[in-house]
A and B are shown apart, each in its own frame.
Chain A
Amino acid sequence: MTVIEHPIIFTLFGLPVRDTVVFTWITMAVIIAIVLLLKLLKPNLLEMILEMIIGIVDDAMDVDDLHPYIPLLGSLMVFVLVANLISIVPVMKSPTADINTTIGLALVIVLSVHIYGILKKGFWTYLKEFASPIVLFPIELIGQVSRTLSLAMRLFGNVLSGDLVVAIVFSIIPSVLPIAMIAISMISGALQAYVITTLAALFISSAVEINEEDQRVKAEKAARKKLKKLRKELANGES
């Protein structure tokens, strides 16, 4: 099965380079070429695509300022979309049909969730909220690992199953029927790009959201302290 095997194409400074890496480079080149062409010919269309991505991220996230998150989430969405759709070109294989690519993407997402949380709240506050009932801390850690794995497996399995079904149908009936399967795998590829962006936005949003109850309690405590101080000063003044 050529869909599953990943042969070594050439070695670079003694490192073997498999075909997935080459297809990832081609995907990046395609994205850059499309963006440059659109910027030259139709800047309005580029703006519309950006507005659409911002709309999708804005639906999923519940934060005031979207600016720090758009570069990561937007490029994630564009990369996954082009990588899923590029397998319709005959010699190409999707880079996301290899588990190494998807695990890399999932690691980037999960690490960036924590980095955004630490940048927003500060290291100790974030750690304190992350392990707030200390009994649940190991379960939270296991949850992080399984979140990474499930993000990677979902993308990999969906893309690989689409490509595999196309290959199997093509080996049985090579005429018209594979077109329908290719259409289905294209739809599911676009949907997976949407889903992985939305899930990453949800994870980041849950990491950076400020706990309103804590904030309220803190403000109440400060107000009470101020009141006490004022009363004391008043009593001192009277006596």
Chain B
Amino acid sequence: MENLSTEAIVVIVTTIVAALAIVIGTMIPTWVEGKACEKAIEGMARQPEAAPQLRTAMIISLALLETASIYVLLVVLVLLFANPLLKLLGG
């Protein structure tokens, strides 16, 4: 570890953190979306005449839930392609 430069350590830690963040940050929203879909499909099976309204509500709530994982993706993209920590070290 001693012969690694500070920049190299920052790059390694950033990569590990980015991989962990994208794994956890897509796993949890996907799990919650699955629960939402499950309830909506149960409702559709119980009341087929209410299916169009349920489908619209389901798609909108899925899009809103998806926003959480999109935020994680944006943070990871910033960490990987425009790392502010490296700029802090360089400047």
Question: What is A's interface to B at a CB cutoff of 8 Å?
Answer: 1, 4, 59-60, 150, 153-154, 156-158, 160-161, 164, 191-192, 194-195, 198-199, 202
Contact = CB atoms under 8 A, between A and B. Distances in A.
Contacts of A202: 60
B17 interface: no
A198 B52 CA distance: 14
A59 B73 CA distance: 31
Given A4-B77, A153-B74, A161-B73, A59 B56 contact: yes
B9 interface: no
A163 to B, nearest CB: 12
A157 B71 contact: yes
Contacts of A164: 77
Interface of B: 52, 56, 59-60, 63, 66-67, 70-71, 73-74, 77, 81
B70 A157 contact: yes
A198 B71 contact: no
Contacts of A60: 56
B81 A154 contact: no
Given A1-B81, A153-B71, A153-B74, A158 B66 contact: yes
Contacts of B63: 154, 191-192, 195, 199
Nearest to A161: B73
B77 to A, nearest CB: 7
B56 A198 contact: yes
A113 to B, nearest CB: 16
